[in-house]
Amino acid sequence: MKKHSNEKDELTDKRRFSYRMNVFFFASFVIFSVIIVRLAFLQFVEGPELSQEEASNITKDVPLPPVRGTIYDSTGEVKLAYSKPIQSLYLTLYKNYGDVGGQPSPNIGEVQDIATRLHDVFEQYKLKDSEPLTVEQILEEMDLNSRKANGFMPRLIKSDLSEEEVAYFLQHKDEFKGIQIVEESVRFYDPDTVAVQTIGYLKKFRSSKALDKYKEVDEANKTQTDPGLVYTENEFVGFDGLELQYQDALRGKSGYTSVDVDLRNLPEGVAGSTPPEKGYDLISSINKNVQVKTEQAILDQLSWLHRNPVSGKLHPNAKTGFAVAMEVDTGKIVSAASMPDYDTNIWRTGSITNDQYDDIKYVYQNGTIRSFPPDDSKKRAESIVLLGSTIKPLSVLIGLKEGFFTTNTVYSDRGSTTFGGDNRRVQNSSGHVYGAMRPHDAIRHSSNVFMIDEIGKKLYSKYGATGIDKWDEYMKQFGLGVSTGVDLPNEFLGIRDYMNTTESSLTRLVYGSFGQQGKYTTMQLAQYTTMLANKGKRMEPQLVSEFRDSEGNVVEKVKPKVLSTVEFNDSYWNEVQRGMATEVSAFSGFPYDFARKTGTSTQVVGGKLVDNGVFIAYAPRNNPKLAVAVVIPEGGFGSSSAAPVARAIFDAYDEEFGLDGVPKKDKNKESESESGTQ
């Protein structure tokens, strides 16, 4: 009985175990079935949606424009180029208003309504002198098909809002979804038009890509990983002058807002923001007071030449003038004038009208470093001219260096000389006969025949046809025909006429010896004059003294730089300096002994012979501080056209800095103070 009971219990246990196993397997089946169904649902139903959500989880950086640094004059106080804040209206599109399948978007009515309402507000509250903005122009700025910018990028609708416009949009922001008032900056320039071609101007990046620099930036934009270095199409960039030369330093870095965007490339929200970094401020070497007086002196002299006969005739075609003042020891450019000039504030919007361009096309370039005509007649002298007699100090140095004569050599000037197989004759100006002279006398009297007989012919006798190469070597040593190294873009290197093989080597050396075979910029002429003053150091012309950060801390001081040196016997330098003593009436009463050389170069322009005025000088003669070069194309004799401008420059520098180290403005203040206490 007991055995039977045990078997029954064992059978019951087996049944229970079997039941439990069945329940377990069934439960497992149900659980795995649910998992499989869920996985299938995730993959085939929710998968695309989740993939879309994952793909849409993208953050894009929207640049905030950088704040451009200021360009000051040499005092560090006068702003020559500066940025002022303005308020701009941007619109971000949260819907796709672009064409669909070549047809207008179903939402087009909404955006047209926004454009109409924006137009109405602009018309009601705009500044009186601002240009009207039509509905069509507003729609164009909205860039509905994202041709100019990505869909998530805010669209600039209008800059320089009036206070009333700003107030209205801030109060009615909810009525205009996606609008944002952004503080930006606009570039202004000194209204006194100070060294405008040297300072330069700005244009928008999108219209500046013809320049190599911005071609490179545009290419770098495609792979740029630092949002602060990304340029936007509407960003203002330097296009000429110091604005271009120091674009990277002045620009600073863009700020940016990180925006979450969806698959349609439309914004969903803001993830964060990084403010812009202000660019460095530049302290230029240009002194406003000296610069303004330089510019005015040129304009006054041009006017004088139109009204007063020189050598029996007026000079109505003297339309332009160029001057550079360079410190002898430092290379600092104190003034650089290319006149006439213009108001660079016309570039405020980044572009100008055709009429505006026609007004400035012959004055907006920098004639102190480039060559361009004063009009479109093709009958006027350009901004670079033959140097004329201002080359004679260098010619004498070459003759002394080559051993053609000594400082004691006496030469008999008969007023003219001949050269070549055809005995071509060249004479002194007005046929003057100077008789017995030493080298310094040849410079002082400006003897053409001395230069021809003692330098031009003898270079040919010594070197033959390669005498031209020797001449070229000397010219380049003194910065003529090569880059001066000035910190400005697109410097013209001059025209070395003596390399033109249509004339014989002898002819080119003869005419080159007295300044009729090379056209150079006023900047090159100033650097050459500086070398005469400091006895052989070719200083780098510098237009920037230092860089400062936004807190006013000096980041970098620009040190004087000697590009190269030439070695000549001291007695040679002294002989040349002694000869730079031509009488110049414009310097009557000048309180310093100074070295100078007048020049009148003759060249064929438009089929006619014209005389150009050229003048170089440095002062004081001993321990010189300032070198000056002035060029007045078609101005006649340099002593009458260019020299008066140089006098005004020296006087202005003496007033501000003191040619003897004592600024006369300070002395005058002391005198006034003393007289006031008596």
Q: Are residues 165 and 312 in the same domain?
A: no
pLDDT band per the 50, 70, 90 thresholds, residue 433: very high
Burial class (CB in 10 A: 0-12, 13-18, 19+), 36: exposed
Question: Which residues are registered as beta bridge partners of 539?
Answer: 562
Q: Are residues 501 and 604 in the same domain?
A: yes
**Closest C-alpha to 246, from 488, 483, 556:** 488
Q: Which whole-number Å values give the CA distances from 490 to 1, 241, 338, 344, 631, in the listed order?
A: 122, 9, 15, 19, 20
**Domain presence at residue 312:** yes
Task: Describe the crossing of helices 163-171 and 108-125 by its angle, rounded to 10 degrees.
Answer: 140
Which of 57-61, 185-189, 589-593 shows the lowest per-residue confidence on average (mean pLDDT)? 57-61
Please state at what angle helix 467-477 crosses helix 505-513, rounded to 10 degrees. 30
Backbone φ, ψ for residue 270 (5° rounding):
-100, 125
Judgement on whether residues 300 and 239 belong to the same structural domain of the protein? no
Residue 5 within a domain: no
Backbone φ, ψ for residue 154 (5° rounding): -65, 145
In a shared domain, residues 273 and 334: no
Residue 672: the pLDDT is 60
Q: What is the largest CA-CA distance in the chain?
A: 165
Are 252 and 297 within one domain? no
Say what angle helices 570-579 and 392-401 make with each other, to 10 degrees: 150
User: 470 and 528, same structural domain?
Assistant: yes
pLDDT-wise least confident of 92-96, 417-421, 517-521, 552-556: 92-96
Which secondary structure element, helix H or strand E, spans residue 39, and what is its range?
Answer: helix 2-41
Query: What per-residue confidence (pLDDT) applies to 177?
Result: 86
Check: CB of residue 543 under 8 Å from CB of residue 198.
yes
- The per-residue pLDDT for 527 is 99
Q: Is residue 604 scored above 70 in pLDDT?
A: yes
Residue 151 in tokens: 């869909």
Q: Give 152's pLDDT tier (boundaries 50, 70, 90).
A: confident
Are 320 and 337 a contacting pair, CB within 8 Å? no
Is 312's pLDDT higher than 50? yes
pLDDT of residue 50: 47
- What does the block give as tokens for 398? 């070459």
pLDDT value, residue 93:
85
Sequential DSSP letters for 619-669: ESSSS--EEEEEEETT---HHHHTHHHHHHHHHHHHHHT-TTSS-HHHHHH
- Structure pTM? 0.85
Is residue 256 within 8 Å of residue 228, measured between CB atoms? yes
Cβ 531 vs Cβ 445: under 8 Å? no
Exposed, middle or buried: residue 323 (CB in 10 Å: 0-12, 13-18, 19+)?
buried
Instruction: Please name the amino acid found at residue 521.
Output: T
Residue that the structure tokens 């309504």 belong to: 113
d(CA 243, CA 69): 10
Q: What is the pLDDT of residues 387-428, one digit of tens each?
A: 999 999 999 999 999 999 999 999 999 999 999 988 999 999
Instruction: Report yes or no: 365 and 492 within 8 Å, Cβ to Cβ.
Output: no
Q: Do 135 and 115 form a contact (C-beta atoms < 8 A)?
A: yes
Distance, in Å, from the CA atom of 120 to the CA atom of 72, rounded to the nearest integer, reads 41
**Of 284, 309, 339, which one is at a domain's C-terminal end?**
284
Cβ–Cβ < 8 Å for 556, 538? no
Calculate ∠ Cα 424-427-430, nearest 5°: 145
DSSP 531-562: HHHHTSEEEPPBSEEEEE-TTS-EEEEPPP-E
The SS3 call for residue 131 is coil
CA distance linking residue 144 with residue 155, whole number of Å: 10
Strand partners, 82: 188
The pLDDT of residue 557: 98
The letter for the amino acid at 189 is Y
Report the chain's terminal Cα–Cα distance, integer Å: 151
Q: In this predicted model, which residue has the larger pLDDT, 468 or 11?
A: 468
Backbone conformation region of residue 234, classed left if phi is above 0, alpha if psi is from -120 to 50, else beta? alpha
How high is the mean pLDDT of the chain? 89
Return phi, psi of residue 277, to 5°: -105, 130
Half-sphere exposure of 544 (CA within 13 A, CB side): 25
Q: What angle do CA 57, 228, 213 make, to 5 degrees?
A: 125
- 83 in Cβ contact with 68 (< 8 Å): yes
**609 shares a domain with 489:** yes
Residues 270 and 402 in one domain: no
Q: Is 390 part of any domain?
A: yes
Q: How confident is the model at residue 150 (pLDDT cuts 50, 70, 90)?
A: confident
Q: Alpha helices, DSSP H only, in 200-246?
A: 212-221, 241-245
pLDDT in tens, 525-534: 999 999 999 9
Q: In which band, very low, low, confident or very high, does the pLDDT at 143 lie, cut at 50, 70 and 90?
A: confident
Same domain, 189 and 221: yes
Residue identified by tokens 């007991």 is 2
Per-residue pLDDT of 230-259, as tens digits, reads 998 889 999 999 999 999 999 999 887 777
pLDDT value at position 13? 57
Q: What is the rounded CA–CA span in Å between residue 389 and residue 600?
A: 6
Domain harbouring 84, CATH code: 3.90.1310.10
Token pair 């170069």 in the structure block, residue? 601
| Residue that finishes a domain, picked among 284, 315, 346 | 284
Residue 118 belongs to some domain of the structure: yes
Residue-wise DSSP of 559-600: PP-EEEE----HHHHHHHHHH-B---GGGTT-SS--EEEEEE
Which stretches of 42-174 are DSSP H helices?
47-56, 108-125, 135-142, 163-171
For 195-224, what is the mean pLDDT? 95
Convert the pLDDT of each residue in 549-586 to its tens digit: 999 999 999 999 999 999 999 999 999 999 999 999 99
Lowest mean pLDDT among 18-22, 197-201, 312-316: 18-22
Q: Are residues 299 and 279 in the same domain?
A: no
Q: Does pLDDT of 111 surpass 90?
A: no
Residue 634 lies in a domain: yes
Q: How far apart are alpha carbons 372 and 109 in whole angstroms? A: 53
Q: Looking at the domain assignment, is residue 618 inside a domain?
A: yes
Report the alpha-carbon distance of residue 530 to residue 511 in Å, rounded: 24
Q: Output the six-digit token pair for 601.
A: 């170069």
Q: Which of 653, 655, 658 is nearest to 285 (CA)?
A: 653
Q: Which domain holds residue 77?
A: 65-284
Q: Phi and psi at residue 137, in whole multiples of 5°? A: -65, -40
Number of domains within the chain:
2
98 and 186 both lie in a single domain = yes
Spatial CA neighbour of 257 closest among 273, 279, 268: 273
Q: Of 225, 259, 284, which one is at a domain's C-terminal end?
A: 284
Reading the block at residue 105, the tokens are: 């978007």
263 found inside a domain: yes
pLDDT confidence band for 5 (50 / 70 / 90):
low
Q: What is the mean pLDDT of residues 124-143?
A: 87
* Parallel, antiparallel or unpaired: strands 71-72 and 281-284: parallel
The CATH number that applies at residue 329 is: 3.40.710.10
Answer whether residue 201 is part of any domain. Answer: yes
Three-state DSSP class for residue 105: coil
Residues 159 and 104 in one domain: yes
Q: What tokens appear for 371 in the block? A: 């060559």
pLDDT digits (tens, 9 = 90+) for 609-625: 999 999 999 999 999 99
As a whole number of angstroms, the distance between CA 65 and CA 295 comes to 35
287, 256, 288: which is closest to 272 by C-alpha?
Answer: 256
Task: Give the rounded distance of the alpha carbon of 207 from its chain centre.
Answer: 16
The pLDDT of residue 676 is: 57
Residue pair 68/250 in contact by the 8 Å Cβ criterion = yes
